[in-house]
């Protein structure tokens, strides 16, 4: 750190559909839901992150909540910029500064991003104060965060199941050999649960409740060794609007998530089909790594292992693997300059 280190600041940002994580000096300084609440008349920021999430689905006419990212890419430019700016401010709340330092930011992006989508992320980060903005592909960041040697002449396969997209990539010699990015991920599982509760139990639930069901009793297998207790859901009956109470079991949820998880399986198989044989044998020997919030779904690793006959390993801290890897790329950006764009 030089004399003028306080004039510049380096941030690694995992800009996710569900959560945004910022790492500064190897520490996670911000970990908040990717959601903002704006004033409908002036478009001014009312709340951000967890505070905005608590307002989600409970606002009145003058305030609206919005998730700036959909399917892993920026859907609302203005809201995204306000969110990035607000999250960077959050991190500075405890430090009183006379002036704003110039920011170097590394942001991770889905591997299936188009040039236009990449440009949108870059512009948002620059408008929010980034002087130098670099991008790294999510699966590459996840591999670094898991601790894989991405430069080695051997194949590693990473499946990163986020909120908006599932990224599947085979990495060797510091590059992505085959990749598949599908827009089926955590948000789709949440939507499946909302639809199932409406159809099966005649009960209307919101996004937050569905998310809670997924966390409490979500499962990829109909039979688990350590089953979670049933989760009680309260809500209005669709026909009568009277309140009803429904216990939900993990077997039901595994049944309702079946279709989306099958699509993920197919995508992983497709990526394996395109993998060169030498790398394929590396992957079979070492196994496939799961990262992202979706990796926490009960029984998912077991289900995939049984289905594909390749061992699946869950990353040590799957929610933070991508952010950690982005932080590593930022810290060693001269060494990993070939990964950044």
Whole-prediction pTM value? 0.92
* Token pair in block for residue 27: 């520490």
- Distance CA(308)–CA(272), nearest Å, equals 10
pLDDT tens digits for range 52-94: 999 988 889 999 999 999 988 899 989 999 999 999 888 876 5
Query: Scanning the structure block, which residue is given the tokens 């909120």?
Result: 163
**Across the chain, where does the E strand assignment appear?**
8-15, 19-24, 27-33, 36-39, 45-48, 63-66, 69-70, 73-74, 102-109, 130-137, 156-161, 166-172, 175-182, 231-236, 243-248, 288-291, 312-314
Burial of 123 (0-12, 13-18, 19+ CB in 10 A): middle
pLDDT tens digits for range 85-122: 999 888 876 565 656 678 999 999 998 889 999 999 99
Q: Is 43 a residue whose pLDDT tops 80?
A: yes
pLDDT tens digits for range 143-169: 999 999 999 999 999 999 999 999 999
All structural domains of the chain: 151-184+262-314 (3.30.420.40), 186-256 (3.90.640.10)
* Token pair in block for residue 199: 């159809």
Residue 1 makes CB contacts below 8 A (sequence gap 6+) with none
Secondary structure class of 195 (helix, strand, coil): helix
- Distance CA(259)–CA(235), nearest Å, equals 25
Q: Let me know: does 158 contact 171? Beta carbons within 8 Å.
A: yes
């Amino acid at each position: 750190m030089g004399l003028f280190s306080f004039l510049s600041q380096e941030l690694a940002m995992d800009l996710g559909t569900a959560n945004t994580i910022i790492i500064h000096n190897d520490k996670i300084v911000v970990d908040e839901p990717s959601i903002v609440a704006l004033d409908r008349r002036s478009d001014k920021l009312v709340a951000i992150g967890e505070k905005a999430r608590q307002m989600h689905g409970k606002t009145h006419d003058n305030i609206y909540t919005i998730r700036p990212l959909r399917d892993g890419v920026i859907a609302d430019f203005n809201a995204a910029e306000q969110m990035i700016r607000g999250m960077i401010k959050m991190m500075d709340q405890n430090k009183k500064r006379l002036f704003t330092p110039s920011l170097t930011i590394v942001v991770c992006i889905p591997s299936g991003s188009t040039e236009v989508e990449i440009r949108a992320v870059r512009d948002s980060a620059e408008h929010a104060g980034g002087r130098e903005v670099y991008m790294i592909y999510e699966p590459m960041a996840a591999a670094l965060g898991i601790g894989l040697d991405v430069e080695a002449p051997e194949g590693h396969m990473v499946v990163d199941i986020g909120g908006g997209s599932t990224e599947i990539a085979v990495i060797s010699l510091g590059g992505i050999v085959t990749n598949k990015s599908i827009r089926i991920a955590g948000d789709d599982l949440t939507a499946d649960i909302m639809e199932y509760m409406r159809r099966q139990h005649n009960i209307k639930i919101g996004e937050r409740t569905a998310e809670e069901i997924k966390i409490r009793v979500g499962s990829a297998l109909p039979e688990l060794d350590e089953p979670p207790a049933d989760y009680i859901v309260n809500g209005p009956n669709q026909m009568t609007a009277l309140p009803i109470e429904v216990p939900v079991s993990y077997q039901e949820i595994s049944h309702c998530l079946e279709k989306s998880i099958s699509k993920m399986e197919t995508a992983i198989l497709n990526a394996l089909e395109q993998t060169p044989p030498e790398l394929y044998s590396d992957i079979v020997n070492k196994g496939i790594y799961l990262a992202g919030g979706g990796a926490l779904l009960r029984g998912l690793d077991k289900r995939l292992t049984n289905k594909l006959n390749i061992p699946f390993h869950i990353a040590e801290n799957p929610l933070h693997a991508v952010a950690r890897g982005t932080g590593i790329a930022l810290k060693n950006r001269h060494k990993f300059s070939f990964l950044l764009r």
